[in-house]
Structure 1
Amino acid sequence: MSENSVADYWDRFVGTHLNSPDHWEANQVVQQAQWKSSTGDAFKNPVDWFMERFGPFEKMASICSGSGILEQHIASNYLQGGTGQIEGYDLSPGSISLAKEKTAGLRGVQFHISDANSQLWDLSYLDAVFAHGALHHIENLDHCLGQLRRALKQSGYLYVNDYIGPRRFQWTDVQLRLAQELLEILPPNFRRKHQVSRCDPVALKNLDPSEAVRSDHIIDHINAHFEIIVRCERGGTLLAPIFGSGCVSPAVFETEEGMRIIESLCSREKYLIDRGVIPSDHVLIVAKPRPEQF
């Protein structure tokens, strides 16, 4: 995977990848369902939940920080009255530039150009590391997570909010069948397409070589370097294929009926995940470093 080609992609699309109506979490209905699954409160941001439950933290870092949304939130809400710091790292110069613009005037936040696939970290100086939507873009997972374990104090925490499903979004046959059944609940007037499908993995790789590059190995590598102390199943196993296939018309969010139907889709997917029928393709994880000897 070429570092330059990945950086070029994110430079071209900086700050826009979550704006598409075809992104399953780009709407308030699904977002609130996700927050409730993660924090128990549909109005509680998972980052706030983490900071309130496990913080406060003095030294923090964030990998694949993108346009700085998470770092801006932490700096605005948790750092202005104290001495805490958060540093964001991303390989896209355009993303780093935008992040610096967004956080101008905020204390305790800095950004650096760096590739998490090869970045080396100092020993035991961080209280928390955020990998928010980050690890599914990392090819060298063992190096990345090994370095994050090295950088964290033994008392520190790793926060992961990410996609852990099939590589390059190559949904399983079971996912496609169940997603299609779920789509049939959506009335035709709320559908833009009528068939759930896989994307072309070659075309996806050519567009962004980092997209879901080794997503199916993330949990194995976390377990190799960390002890998971909290794991919340966020879903997306069926909703992501439905939205990602372009099946949902934006008109569904313009009526109360449409929003109730989306809420029903979220509930039905959660029912299947809770009963072990399907795995959750998206998770929220809090983990602590494993000791060097175990």
Structure 2
Amino acid sequence: MEDEATKSEQAGAFWDGWEAWRAAQPPRVRWNESEEIVRHVNARICGRPVDGFNQGLIDLFRERAGSDIPLARAVSVGCGNGGKEMTLLQQGLVQHFDLYDVSRASLDIGVALAAEWGLSERTNFIHGDACAQPADASYDLVFWDNSLHHMFDAHAAVRWSRDSLRPGGWFVMNDFVGADRFQFPTSALLLTRLVRTLLPQRYRANPADPNRPYLPYVRRPTLAEMAYDPSEAADSEAIIPALREIFPDAWIKPTGGTVYHLALNDILTNIPDGSPLLTRLLKLDDLTSFIPHFAVAIARKPM
């Protein structure tokens, strides 16, 4: 069996090409490119349909952290280009970020962004696995944004997070917590089939080839198909149990996604923001959010 270091290198190679791949995709095919869905998710988190990806969690964390803001020293594991973390710097929640990622290309983009935004002195981009570093109880915040599900051992990553925090430090997470290696449960697959079957064919059109409509179902990928990134959803099902064990008082909120992410994956571009159809689909997502998919969490290490 390949060791985690080898798998991490393979994952880094995949993510090195992410920005170029994303730039070649049709517009607005992912849920986080829809302003309406982003506002809907933010409302589920903080009770207000605020604009901006992850802004609902940021606003709620600011309220909960109170006088602890600004936090002096934070770390992000799997930061990508660091744009989401630099939002916390720009909004005054954090003074300095250590930013880890296994993709050199993503970090290079992040360094350039930090310079452009005047944040170079407040960011430290580091190539590698943060969880391989000693946990020295020195951080005020450990931040995970859609990267914890790329850890090969979620329990160990959450434990590292707790041990890396000073007493009273904060853990904040926004992540995929659904099926390992996208082996989605039957309930999720049936729901996606229902949604796609009921959609008129024009909404199921393939953005890359409108003459070839998508099939009305989403299937589980084979493990061979998942080999493109050995870290994708490597241990995602273990995230919530790990949080409940390691941070017993954690606030955890499911944010849905089986409809707006899985069922509408790649065809969202056909369903405009503000349409009655999208509104109904988001209500359906709310009703079926018991199916594990996305979740956010805020926890504090005891003083």
Q: Give the structure-2-normalised TM-score.
A: 0.83
1:218-270, Cα deviation, whole Å (9 max, x unpaired): 112222322343222210123322123x4x252322x75xx321121011120
The aligned residue for residue 270 of structure 2 is 251
Out of 8, 12, 30, the residue aligned to residue 37 of structure 2 is 30
Find the aligned partners of 2:257 and 2:188 in 1 and give their Cα distance. Answer: 10
The aligned residue for residue 219 of structure 2 is 198
- Could you list the runs of 4 or more consecutive aligned residues of structure 1 that deviate by over 3 angstroms after TM superposition? 14-22
Out of 69, 78, 88, the residue aligned to residue 74 of structure 1 is 88
Unpaired stretches in structure 2, ≥5 consecutive residues: 206-213
The aligned residue for residue 143 of structure 1 is 156
SS in structure 1 of the partner of residue 219 of structure 2: coil
The one-letter code sitting in structure 2 at the alignment partner of 1:289 is: K
CA contact (8 A) 1:30 1:263 kept: no
The aligned residue for residue 264 of structure 1 is 280
In the alignment, structure 1 residue 160 sits paired with structure 2 residue 167: no
The aligned residue for residue 64 of structure 2 is 53
The aligned residue for residue 119 of structure 1 is 133
The aligned residue for residue 62 of structure 1 is 76
In the alignment, structure 1 residue 282 sits paired with structure 2 residue 289: no
SS in structure 2 of the partner of residue 212 of structure 1: coil
Counting aligned pairs with the same residue, the percent is: 22
SS in structure 1 of the partner of residue 250 of structure 2: strand
Find the aligned partners of 2:153 and 2:237 in 1 and give their Cα distance. Answer: 13
1:105-162, Cα deviation, whole Å (9 max, x unpaired): 214222111214523232x221111111011100022332222111102211100101
1:170-215, Cα deviation, whole Å (9 max, x unpaired): 2211211122223344332211224222242324432111111111
Find the aligned partners of 1:228 and 1:14 in 2 and give their Cα distance. Answer: 37
- CA RMSD in angstroms comes to 2.4
Find the aligned partners of 1:204 and 1:47 in 2 and give their Cα distance. Answer: 35
CA contact (8 A) 1:14 1:66 kept: no
Out of 4, 7, 10, the residue aligned to residue 12 of structure 2 is 7
Unpaired stretches in structure 1, ≥5 consecutive residues: none
Distance 1:228 1:265, change over 3 A: farther
CA contact (8 A) 1:225 1:289 kept: no
Q: Give the structure-1-normalised TM-score.
A: 0.85
